[in-house]
Chains A and B, each alone.
Chain A
Amino acid sequence: MHHVASIKSNLVVFALLMVLLLATVGASYVPLGVMHFPVAMVIATVKTVLIVLFFMHALHSHRLTWIICVASFLWLLLMIVFTIIDFLSRGWLDILGK
């Protein structure tokens, strides 16, 4: 039942991660302006997905593990979204500090 990943697939994922690492570093030298942050986040997200699916064995895990993985990211999203709600709506009222 327990799936064991081959050395080859692990090496391929590792190589992909290294390429993405170079992409992150490279992107920081390209004049992307406001797109710097979104581009960096997209690359980071792809890296995260690769690590979760292959190195953390989520790809061949039980569905319950998938639920746990997805729920964890939803929780992270919850934290980020509510924090951003505060950050973005500061100053909407024309009162200092509100």
Chain B
Amino acid sequence: MSAVAVEPRESVAVEENYLSDHTVKSWLLTTDHKRIGILYLISVTLFFLVGGAAASMMRFELMTPKGDLLGSPDVYNRLFTTHGVVMIFFFLVPSIPAVLGNFLIPLMIGARDLAFPILNLMSWYVYIIGGSIAIYILMFGGVDTGWTFYTPFSTMYSNTMVVHAAIAVFITGFSSILTGLNFIVTIHTMRAPGMSWFRLPLFVWAHYATSLIMVLGTPVLAIAVALIAVERGFGIGIFNPNLGGDPVLFQHLFWFYSHPAVYIMILPGMGVISEIIPCFARRPIFGYRFIAASSLAIAVIGFVVWGHHMFVSGQSMYAGMVFSMLSFLVAVPSAIKVFNWTSTMYKGSIRFDTPMLYALGFIGLFTIGGLTGMMLSTLAVDIHVHDTYFVVAHFHYIMVGGAVMAYLGGIHFWWPKITGRMYSELLGKLSALTVFIGFNLTFFPQFVLGYLGMPRRYFEYASEFQVLNVMSTAGASILAAGYALPLFYLLLSLRQPPTAGKNPWGATGLEWQVDSPPTTHNFDFTPRIDRAPYAYSPVAIEGFDGYSDHGSH
């Protein structure tokens, strides 16, 4: 592995970075993948606040067994639907891919942009159109079906804005498809010389697998919600048995996308963790090829497990058995990742900087979420805890303990690259710790609540569940403070001069070899990759320059 010196880059002294142009027009018409990543960062943060506000109101309502804060169960139904729809479709699905993926994939593979920059901008506009409809629904009536839109309630009984919500989800799905398509083509066709498939960062592998799910799964969701609109609007029998339809068919179509969607949310997070762990353990990643292959395995197997959401739906017992066994199978690649991250840290020289604290939090919480997933894959156990708070706790351990922790870890890891600024490490560590404590206090009691039999989506509950509910609400307050902290100190860091330098963490990825913030075209020359990723060892780090001049300007 040669380490050819980088030639002096004369243009750098005069070239401005991607943030230099401040006009509104330059932002709204940008095709720069980094700027589009920032547009997504702002947008998903706003939606996170909306979804978080809905969750907070629900938690305050659940402080007492009686429904006394929100006034009526209808309001509560609208709140949990808002929370679910906003958090899933407008925050979790786009968060890591559209923010960090957009920003980092071209930098990581040595490209100047994504394959289709205009399509990339279009995906953001499509997302904003869908999001605007969602906000309109929120302001003018809401939806009460839950984010799952289950029939026959959504098609025959609900008097809320179901069709509007279907349109919002339908439109936003295309944003996801466009992003996935862009990533697939970019990763196939725009890798720098020497960047073979097995030299790709695991973040890129994870996004490749995610993109496959986005492209293959999202159209099915779009069709499923469109069929709801068709049945409601025109009375065509798709799901209504009286018209010759089958209500369980909706659940099949919905979960064919929405279970893989869980992997759309968690796989990019796994990619983030695969970057952070070796950097802060100063060790090469353990089992690179297994982690890369496990991303694809999760994407593929994840498509044939959806029926585990339907064990009590009237689905046949035989189908339930098949889906149960396949669900156990999907745990294998997830476990491979967890074991490999743990092995990476073995005998490492671990630094507990903020991104690493978030990554460690991810591993612990994702493991709990994954193992309780195994409990839910077991037919008999699932029948006991189905539609209880046990399920709520389980998927929040995956989506919040997993995906949101990874997102925040990634934001903290690449913030110096994105903005050129460092943040207060003390406040960063405090936020990671606060989020971890707040999260566990919020959701661990919900495992107990569910196991004891408290159903989910209920406005009022039996008084013996109050202590655990108060604990959960108290935890949610701490969690909210933990989430507010980064918003404060990351924004505050923007007031500082950009002095972070190219590579403040001593990381080996290609993105750390360009300026912080990067220039508009990322690289002044096409880099040539001559080594495997994650060359973390004291020797390799000392003289590491990452790539050499390929000579094509």
Which residues does A use to contact B, with CB under 8 Å? 64, 71-72, 75, 78-79, 82-83, 85-87, 89-93, 95, 97-98
Contact = CB atoms under 8 A, between A and B. Distances in A.
B252 A83 contact: yes
A79 B253 CA distance: 8
B234 interface: no
Interface in B297-333: 303-304, 306-307, 310, 314-319, 322-323
B91 interface: no
B391 to A, nearest CB: 21
B50 interface: no
A83 B249 contact: yes
Given A75-B216, A83-B249, A92 B316 contact: yes
Given A78-B304, A87-B316, A92-B316, 8 more contacts: A79-B252, A82-B307, A86-B248, A89-B316, A90-B315, A91-B316, A92-B317, A93-B317
A82 B246 CA distance: 15
Interface of B: 188, 216, 220, 246, 248-249, 252-253, 256, 303-304, 306-307, 310, 314-319, 322-323
Contacts of A79: 220, 252-253, 256
- Give the 6 A-B residue pairs with the shortest CB-CB distance, closest first: A86-B319, A89-B316, A89-B318, A90-B316, A83-B252, A98-B317
B307 A97 contact: no
Contacts of A95: 317
Contacts of B303: 75, 78
A89 B316 CA distance: 6
A90 to B, nearest CB: 4
Contact of B319 (A72, A78, A85): A85
A89 B317 CA distance: 8
A93 to B, nearest CB: 5
Contacts of B246: 87
A66 B505 CA distance: 43
A86 B252 contact: yes
18 contacts: A64-B188, A71-B216, A75-B216, A75-B303, A78-B303, A78-B304, A79-B256, A82-B306, A85-B322, A86-B310, A86-B319, A87-B316, A89-B316, A89-B319, A90-B314, A90-B316, A92-B316, A93-B316
Contact of A82 (B216, B304, B317): B304
A92 B317 CA distance: 9
A72 B318 contact: no
Nearest to B252: A83
A77 to B, nearest CB: 11
A86 B304 CA distance: 13
Contacts of A97: 314
